[in-house]
Chains A and B, each alone.
Chain A
């Protein structure tokens, strides 16, 4: 395992590891019966997240934990908080999108289709996107299933079918984690250059990306600020999901034992629902929400008018490089 990952993991776990409080005493001569520790004392002395640990002869430090009250906190998070957070995030996002659709409708290409296309994403770009997105969808669904399936699906399927489904889901989740992580890494390599924030983004943001007013199209290079935000959400989300997931994939690596794992599942689940919510928005705007947008990742060829409206500066750059087609005769500029 990466040492940085390990040390980061250890750092994260620090807050969770605890040792039994020890009275510093001269242990040469005393009454061991009188001085015996009492469970109640020890439990009361524990701080939040600490465990009651001791020594055990088997070479498995995890087994040296006697009582870990934080399991209760994890249970509360998992059974009570997570469904609320997940519900709010995911259902809330869906509601927002519906509302947005109702208010704004589908964002059309103001100039209409020009009939001329420009290559927006090459096959490597699209491969990377769909590899990651495909994995993400399965990971999200299987993840949602393991967290909420018992509540939402099990009653309809019955225990056995549901267990089989979930077992397959777990397998899929475990194995697709690797191509997902690969996709995230690839994405970073090929797109990071175009996703460095710059001054243009401020303008874009000031104008709300033109999302909320018809005909407004702040200029953007290859990626506008909104897309950059998505990119960085995916990067940050992908990395943290991968890291926390790594320990869940290989539970025996987590040095802090159960505390680490609780921490990582908490992070993983919390981030997952937010990630899913964000990706719902991304998916919306990349398909239903905006005319001509899906082509970018569909065929890779977008209509020139769409491109000029949303990525005017990028089109200019491409044209300067001679990679973009000239405007067809008779076509009107978008303005």
Chain B
């Protein structure tokens, strides 16, 4: 099976936020929940680069390790998903996640966290594929339709790559070879304990 990964080529990312709104659009993600976001490092200064970030679907995912109720699971495509039925909204995954991926709706006046929401790699959740329950909890299941995450599919400059790790790594390598520069596969070392050497 494929080992699905994300790779943001920061030398292509222009912070256009298409990935962000594509995600909102595809999954009807409510206001305040940002499954994907774009962060600009060194804004306005020499060296400025923007990076689109969401759940990286880590190998040995920290969220899964620390979850008190063990609500995470990894699919055969190596996508890290979770069950909102089991989630208790404790926030531990947020503490452990290197990428700030877990999001929580603020529930009620108490201001505490609701059930965690995060990027599903457009692969839904534990419910039956294409069921209403799956859609309402996790959004659309593109992977089961044979499609890749919409954020990457709609990326304006083809900066955000999604797909099998080996293949997107080779695309990135090829780019760096061709153009002669590359600021690195952001998050890869942290998420996958490997990086792309060119």
Contacts and interface: CB of A to CB of B under 8 A. Distances in A.
A249 to B, nearest CB: 6
A75 B62 contact: yes
Contacts of B45: 22-23, 25, 27
Interface residues of A, number: 62
Contact of A72 (B10, B11, B53, B62): B62
Most buried by B among A20, A64, A71: A71
A251 B46 contact: no
Main SS class of interface, B: loop
A139 interface: no
Contacts of A145: 68
B41 A66 contact: yes
Interface in A243-263: 248-252, 258, 261-262
B66 to A, nearest CB: 5
Given A75-B62, A265-B95, A39 B90 contact: no
Contacts of B190: 43, 67, 69, 72
A60 B104 CA distance: 13
Interface residues of B, number: 58
Contacts of B189: 39-40, 43
A217 interface: no
A36 interface: yes
Interface in B100-128: 100, 104, 106, 110-113
Interface string A136-170: 00000000011101100010000110110011001
A329 interface: no
B181 A34 contact: yes
Contact of A78 (B66, B89, B104): B66
A33 B185 contact: no
Nearest to A264: B95
28 contacts: A20-B41, A22-B42, A32-B47, A32-B48, A35-B46, A36-B181, A37-B42, A37-B47, A37-B48, A39-B183, A39-B185, A54-B39, A54-B43, A56-B37, A58-B34, A63-B37, A65-B39, A65-B100, A69-B98, A74-B66, A75-B96, A154-B69, A166-B69, A166-B88, A170-B89, A248-B91, A249-B110, A251-B91
